Chain A
Amino acid sequence: GDSVTQMEGPVTLSEEAFLTINCTYTATGYPSLFWYVQYPGEGLQLLLKATKADDKGSNKGFEATYRKETTSFHLEKGSVQVSDSAVYFCALEFSGSARQLTFGSGTQLTVLP
């Protein structure tokens, strides 16, 4: 079945450091790919998405590129801030599946001042 594998956390960085969170997927066909973010005590929010190969999603300084050849969708940010501390989830969706999302296990990011 479809699955998403995320880089294990937790990840701790200093402010202004470069961030990469790895995400790879296994799926038949070409799913849409998402990054969701969960701030402490809140529900998940969409951070960015990409719907086809080579698409780049971006938002709030975060970026991820849909790489079909490596089945990856790694999340990057050039300079993290304390306010980026959260749990990040990679997810995939097939359009014919009632928009069901398959999530990775999440990566806890802590940014220290």
Chain B
Amino acid sequence: NAGVTQTPKFRILKIGQSMTLQCTQDMNHNYMYWYRQDPGMGLKLIYYSVGAGITDKGEVPNGYNVSRSTTEDFPLRLELAAPSQTSVYFCASSYSGGRSSYEQYFGPGTRLTVT
């Protein structure tokens, strides 16, 4: 059981380049999330999905796009990279059911530098 996996671990982009951060979970979770973590800051939600085919914006969606064609995968797309997108990106997933709170499981992160 791998949990939440992310690729790549590290990436350096030039301004204006594009890339896709991959995220896969094998826990059959229906909720998935993308966060960014800037130095000395908490995590900010970029986008989330409550199931295949359904996505919605979080707190900081500008400059990003997502898709959710399967339960397992939730890629994050950067179309025109900017220095402000230099950050560590975390994907997470959780189970939804009833009114109880369920923990989010996080991937190991992708460290992205835009120069």
Query: Which of A's residues lie within 8 Å of B, judged by CB?
Result: 4, 6, 32, 34, 41-46, 49, 51, 89, 91, 93, 95, 98-101, 103-106
Given A98-B50, A99-B94, A104-B42: A93 touches B101 (CB 8 Å cut-off): yes
Cβ distance B25 to chain A, nearest Cβ, rounded Å:
12
**Which of the four size classes fits the interface of chain B?**
20 to 34
Asked if A99 and B43 make an inter-chain contact with CB atoms under 8 angstroms apart, the answer reads no
Q: Can you pick out 20 interface pairs between chain A and chain B where the beta carbons lie within 8 Å of each other?
A: A4-B42, A41-B108, A43-B92, A43-B109, A44-B43, A44-B92, A44-B104, A44-B106, A49-B101, A51-B101, A89-B42, A93-B101, A95-B99, A98-B56, A99-B94, A99-B102, A101-B43, A104-B42, A105-B40, A106-B41
Closest to B4 in A: A43
Contact flag A99-B96 (CB < 8 Å), given A43-B107, A44-B106: yes
Task: Please give the residue numbers on chain B whose beta carbons come within 8 Å of chain A beta carbons, in ascending order.
Answer: 4, 31, 33, 40-45, 48, 50, 56, 58, 90, 92, 94, 96, 99-104, 106-109
CA A85 – CA B41 in complex, angstroms?
18
The residues of A that contact B33 with a CB separation of less than 8 Å are 100
Chain B residues in 8 Å Cβ range of A49:
101, 103
One of B45, B58, B106 near A43 (C-beta < 8 A): B106
Within 8 Å CB of A6, what residues of B? 42
A51 to chain B, nearest CB (A): 5
**A100 pairs with B41, CB closer than 8 A:** no
Q: Which residues of the partner chain A approach B40 to less than 8 Å between Cβ atoms?
A: 105-106
